[in-house]
Structure 1
């Protein structure tokens, strides 16, 4: 016989969706979209800090604050934005070194008449 779901106490609050969870997702998405332009580090950092706060609030609410899926996806997007920003920095550094290392920059005339 399957176990019955526990009944809720009448004074228990209704589960509510966390607005911070959606903000984490939005900031993570912004970090991913702007990560290749190195500007994604700022929204990614804010998203990761806000994700930590949201996770603590959800834990403290004992299940009455929902939105854990939004936080997880936002955190993944924020890390992806940081990785894209780091990759853009590496590519820019390599391109700069290759530009400096190209032979035949400015050729000065050695003949002085």
Structure 2
């Protein structure tokens, strides 16, 4: 099996700086996801990931960084899941707190 040789006029593959930005935003989303603030960087990471994939496709294989994009997308989705989990837990805790709060009777207890 022979390795295909590159044509001398082919450009060198270049790493995508946007791919690293997707990873950084995804990591930020994951780290702040439980605080519900991770939704914004996660959304930005997912939008930027679509743009990077389009640019990489248009570059015909000369723009590299798909691994960073995949990792960033996974971290972004994990940040969104953490934010949703935090909202559900906070809602349940709030409902339990309201259910346990003493509420007064809204009718007279001395009725015959």
DSSP-derived class of the 2:47 partner: helix
Q: Among residues 24, 27, 40, which one is paired with 1:26 in the alignment? A: 24
Aligned ranges for residues 83-98 of structure 1 at < 5 Å?
83-98=81-96
* Partner in structure 2 of residue 12 of structure 1: 10
Aligned CA-pair RMSD: 1.7
* Partner in structure 1 of residue 44 of structure 2: 46
Q: Among residues 37, 54, 60, which one is paired with 2:35 in the alignment? A: 37
Mark the runs of 5 or more structure 2 residues left unpaired by the alignment.
none
TM-score (structure 2 length as normaliser)? 0.89
User: Separation in 2 of the partners of 1:21 and 1:40?
Assistant: 19
Mark the runs of 5 or more structure 1 residues left unpaired by the alignment.
none
